[in-house]
């Protein structure tokens, strides 16, 4: 199965708990520690919070997943993929991924600042289409 080899590729031992973390994250996209814990408890009633923390941190350190910081929210975790930005609805807190062309932006910033830029963390905040109609 695909998730198994992805874990192996990152030098992570394949445990049932880890497989379920991957499954849940691929379903929900972005989650904080606590909702991940709640979701995992359904399948593993004895799962410990400590196990989640340990797994999330090793998986993050091996770049298997990434930590996302959004204003007014707890840290979120998502499966690693190509660099992308996030859009948050300030009413319902829903988050979507979006791929944007950041190159002109980065160029502008590096020529002003003289930094050698290589990554970005971009969150745009607004109202989602659903909330806009309510």
Partner DNA sequence: CTAAATGCAAAGCATTTGCAAATAT
Partner DNA sequence: ATATTTGCAAATGCTTTGCATTTAG
- Catalog residues that contact DNA under the rule CB under 7 A: 8, 12-18, 33-34, 44, 46-51, 53-55, 57-58, 74-75
The yes or no reply on residue 49 touching a second copy (CB under 8 A) is no
CB of 33 to a second copy, least distance (A): 16
Name the binder of 26 from DNA, a second copy, none, CB < 5-8 A by kind: none
The yes or no reply on residue 12 touching a second copy (CB under 8 A) is no
Please identify, using beta-carbon distances, which residue of 49 and 98 lies nearer to a second copy: 98
Of 131, 134, 110, residue with least CA distance to 120: 110
* 87: alpha, beta or left? (left if phi > 0; alpha if psi -120 to 50): beta
Q: What is the DSSP string of 40-70?
A: HHHH-TT--HHHHHHHHHHHHHTTSEEEE--
């Amino acid at each position: 199965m695909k998730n198994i080899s992805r874990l192996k590729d990152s030098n992570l031992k394949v445990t049932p708990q880890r497989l379920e973390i991957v499954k849940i994250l691929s379903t929900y996209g972005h989650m904080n520690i606590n909702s991940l814990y709640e979701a995992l408890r359904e399948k593993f009633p004895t799962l410990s919070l400590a196990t989640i923390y340990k797994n999330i941190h090793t998986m993050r350190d091996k770049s298997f997943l990434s930590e996302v910081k959004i204003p007014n929210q707890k840290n979120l975790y998502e499966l690693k993929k190509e660099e992308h930005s996030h859009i948050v609805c300030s009413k319902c807190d829903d988050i979507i991924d979006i791929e944007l062309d950041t190159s002109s932006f980065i160029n502008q910033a590096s020529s002003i600042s003289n930094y050698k830029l290589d990554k970005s963390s971009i969150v745009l905040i607004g109202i989602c289409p659903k909330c806009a109609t309510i």
